[in-house]
Amino acid sequence: MNISQAARQSGLTPKALRYYESIDLLRPQRSANGYRDYSERDLETLRFIQRARAVGFSVEEVRDLLGLYHNPSRRSHDAKLLVLDKLEHIETQLRNLREMRATLKELAGRCAGDESPECAILDQLAGGEHD
C-alpha cells in the first residue's frame, strides 16, 4: 500500500511516516518507481508506534519497545520495566506540575491586579520578595 493508505490506516500523517522511516523505526519496501510500499507488518508497526506515542513514550522509548515487540525471544519483564520507568517519570512530572500550580495560585493571590505599578508577582519572580 502507498504512504497515503498506510497513513490513513495507521492514524498517522504521511509526514510522520516519512519521519519514522528517516529515524529507522521502520523500513518500507520501495517499488520499482521508488515509491514506498507498506506491508501489513509495516502497518502493524505503525499502529504500535502510534499507540505507544499516544501514551507518552518518546521516540527512543518506542524504539526500545519495538525492539522487544519484534524479538521472538523477548521477556515480558523487560517491557514491564520500560513501562514502570515511564510511569515513574510521569509521576514525577505530575508532582512537579502540582507544585507549579500551587506556586502560580500563590503568586496570583499576592497580586492586587489593579492599575498600580506595584506587582507582587513580578517582585517575587525578580527575587525581590522572599518568604
pLDDT of residue 54: 94
Is residue 70 one of the residues assigned to a domain? no
The total number of structural domains that make up the chain: 2
Q: What pTM was computed for the model?
A: 0.78
pLDDT band at 128 (very low <50, low <70, confident <90, very high): low
- Using the predicted structure, report yes or no on whether residue 19 has a pLDDT greater than 70: yes
Residues 46 and 91 in one domain: no
pLDDT, tens only, 74-127:
999 999 999 999 999 999 999 999 999 999 999 999 998 899 899 999 999 998
57, 85, 105 - which closes a domain: 57
- Using the predicted structure, report yes or no on whether residue 7 has a pLDDT greater than 80: yes
User: Rounded to whole angstroms, how far apart are CA atoms 45 and 48?
Assistant: 5
Residues 50 and 86 in one domain: no
Is residue 113 one of the residues assigned to a domain? yes
Residues 45 and 94 in one domain: no
pLDDT of residue 89: 96
pLDDT, tens only, 51-66:
999 999 999 999 999 9
Residues 3 and 53 in one domain: yes
Residues 52 and 79 in one domain: no
Residues 86 and 51 in one domain: no
Domain region containing 118: 75-131
Secondary structure, 3-state, the chain: CCHHHHHHHHCCCHHHHHHHHHCCCCCCEECCCCCEECCHHHHHHHHHHHHHHHCCCCHHHHHHHHHHHCCCCCCHHHHHHHHHHHHHHHHHHHHHHHHHHHHHHHHHHHCCCCCCCCCHHHHHHHCCCCC
Residues 1 and 53 in one domain: yes
pLDDT of residue 129: 54
Is residue 66 one of the residues assigned to a domain? no
